Chains A and B, each alone.
Chain A
Amino acid sequence: MLIVNEEPLEYDEGMTVADVLKKRNYIWRMLAVWVNGQFVQRGTYDKTPVPDGAEVKVIHQIAGG
């Protein structure tokens, strides 16, 4: 199990950051992602593994209206 933005998310073996975003339907282009407090560089999401039990923070940089 992962914790993504304080909410649980079922873990799939071999998950990457990109997989987490896809599973949560986080489609917005401008994201800032931390895995266990470590900032993940944009452009590396599909190569960055997420370990089971990790805490993932995904901030949407979107301002709206």
Chain B
Amino acid sequence: MSVTYDYKVRTNYAADVSTLRAAHKTLVEVPFTPSLPERGYTRRTLFVDLSTLTISEKAITQEMIDVFTGGRGFGLYYLWQAVTPGTKWNDPENALIISPGPLAGNTQYAGSGKSLVVTISPETGIPIDCNVGGYFGPLLKFCGFDVLDIRGKAKHDTILVIDGPRGVIRLEEAPEEAPDSHIAAEIFTHMYADDARDMQNVAVVSAGKAAESAYMGCLNFSWWDPKRGAARLKQAGRGGTGTVFRDKKLKALVVRGFRMKTDMNRAADFPVTVQVGKRINDEIRNHDDEQCHMRRQGTAHLVEVMDAYDLLPVHNFQYGKHVDTPKIDSQVWDRRFTQGIPDQCWYGCGMACSKAADGHHVLTGPYKGHIVTVDGPEYENAAGLGSNCGLFDPDWLLEVNFYCDTYGIDTISFGTACAFVMECWEKGILNAERTGGLDLAWGNGASEVELLHQMARGEGFGITVGKGVKYMQDLFIRNGWGDPQLIRDMGMQIKGLEISQYMCKESLAQQGGFALANKGPQHDEAWLIFMDMVNNQIPTFEDKAEALHYFPLFRTWFGLQGLCKLPWNDIEPPDNHEKYPGPEAAKVPEHVENYLKLYTGITGKPLDRKSLIEQSEAVYNFQRVFNLRMGQGDRKNDMPPYRAMGPVTKEEYESRAERYDKQLKEIVGIDPAGKSTEEKMTLQRAWRTDRYNKLVDAVYKRRGWTPDGVPTMETLKKLKIDSPEVVAVVAPHLG
């Protein structure tokens, strides 16, 4: 039976805005002169120190643009200036930096509204970078700033208001608003918009209550959805950006920008941007229905595909498929999402994949009985909060999704952490005494969401889970709660960050994609599973190394420019694979040409495919050196847990025994006949570990790094990042 959900009906939180605002106290207010970018850059950075209540500007130099390009590059540059090798995530000098790139904010090309968030991560202790949609970055830029650099800590809950049309920037104490994002985004949008038409010119960044205790706090970036009359949310999800935000006692960042017009980037050749934009939007309109269904399902279209190819994480990445997957697959979300509304997290994006489930009646917690719009679930949420935890009930999945978002918790890290504790429960590493009475059996949605409520209340076992898998591994081993080797093997984290929701046991290249990523295992850097495991297009170590050179760098480029990755390859020219031979098709050459034209059209600077990669390569290697500076960034930090590489338990082996036995016989050259499962597991482990190490050797060589993973002096010089301070970090590691 089909159920219709009214997309206009939801609980109203903005009725009492004037009372809430009356409680605000202005801490400092400074005037500023708004300016539009010229050829994509404003060349101005807004600097805010919450400790000293300083609001000032810094100039962006030509050297910064030449070496760091923008977005993530600018964020890493300023973060390097802000911190020392001893800086911890909660030290006042840790910076929280938001930067849209030079191409961000154009309304011609799909997926051009991204902001990059950079900070020292509570989970990893090294820089994290997140690419997030919503209107904040572009509106900030069109007020006059390429970068917002926030340091210090406020004494009390504070908001930063950047009001472009009025030409003022203020820090205000804001004591009374709920920090939870579905409320904060709505209230602050109403509070700072002049009228209903102005709502679209206001964007809010916030993180909820749970980000105050968890290390996996995320930031929610809003965009006003005029059709629903609601503030929608996109997440800078990974690594604890929201935790840093709340630790600084920030309740919200509010930007009020100008009414959008075309060409606010003042492009060098605007007609070219229109031409390439039309090309991609036509392609999406004409072919999305036969390709990925992004406009109806968003990335949730992947759920049953991953299941079919044994890639959907089930029960903490033990298995790759489940009989109940149809209960949370794309057909379910296709019906549950409100269709026919342009779900664009930035203007002009024909992909419009920010799908939402309206009319969710909240089942638990402080908002029980409220009616809310849930942003998502995207694939990662359905897989991480759902199948990986054995939860196949769409209503409970929406419930967990909603609370993750509004409490400011990263759905990927929470999904992987929750799956980990559920497996610990199954194996007796955890019990009711250790969890404070929570039953963490697979599929227990009520317990899953209770962990979030505990994080938000700052009490109970939820606090432990919110600190992440690495923290829990150390704790459980220290407490003697289980076999240390097993706890290490099944804890799906690398560098302290939880692995995102794809099984990679059978894709060596994807193991490298996760483990060799600078920030930790996030799929936005490299997603090679099908090329490697199914298409068999990169069979040798050298082939995989080439892919692990090119694709992470190409994807890094989106983060430098303020672009979304999805219109690159979640839509393709229908004849892409017929026209371009072999792995070249995976680069989607015609879309790369679009990007080169878009870049030159906006900035006026020529760019070819080689120099595009070199732009990324400079920033990528700088980030690698940054990791080294923070005491990581070498080979031992690039090792995945064994669960990512192969079967940890007897049950896992035996569930895919035919596959594993065949591999031993045909690839390893050992006849498995007559051997016990334990003996075969030992043989598999030796083979898989050895081939991973060979892959790492090949990748480091291709990237111009030493066998310990350190960029060589030649590499630094070639990329023009051989400044004295960078060389000083690297030199001791080069012998």
Contacts and interface: CB of A to CB of B under 8 A. Distances in A.
Nearest to B539: A6
B536 interface: yes
B308 A27 contact: yes
B305 A62 contact: yes
B572 interface: yes
Size bracket of the B interface: 20 to 34
- Indicate the size class of the contact surface on chain A: 10 to 19
B529 A61 contact: no
Given A28-B305, A32-B577, A65 B530 contact: no
A25 B577 CA distance: 21
Contacts of A59: 535, 537, 577, 585
B577 A64 contact: no
Interface string A32-65: 1000000100000000000000000011111111
B483 interface: no
B291 interface: yes
B569 interface: yes
B535 A58 contact: yes
Contacts of A65: 299, 379-380, 500, 502, 523-524, 527
Given A27-B308, A59-B535, A64 B302 contact: yes
SS class of chain A's interface: helix, strand, loop or mixed? Answer: loop
Contacts of A28: 305, 308-309
Contact of A64 (B290, B502, B535): B502
Nearest to B525: A65
Contacts of B500: 65
A3 B529 CA distance: 20
A37 B596 CA distance: 32
B483 to A, nearest CB: 32
Contacts of A60: 530, 534-535
Given A30-B572, A61-B572, A64-B527, A25 B308 contact: yes
A21 to B, nearest CB: 12
A23 interface: no
B576 interface: yes
Contacts of A61: 291, 572, 576-577, 585
Given A27-B305, A63-B569, A65-B524, A7 B530 contact: no
B578 interface: yes
A6 B543 CA distance: 16
Most-contacted residue by chain B among A7, A29, A39, A61 (CB, 10 A): A61
Contacts of B291: 29-30, 61
Interface string B261-300: 0000000000000000000000000000011100000010
Interface of A: 5-7, 25-30, 32, 39, 58-65
Interface of B: 290-292, 299, 302, 304-305, 308-309, 379-380, 500, 502, 523-524, 527, 529-530, 534-537, 539, 568-570, 572, 576-578, 585
9 contacts: A6-B536, A28-B308, A29-B290, A30-B572, A61-B576, A63-B568, A64-B523, A64-B530, A65-B379
Given A63-B569, A64-B527, 5 more contacts: A7-B536, A27-B308, A28-B305, A60-B535, A65-B299
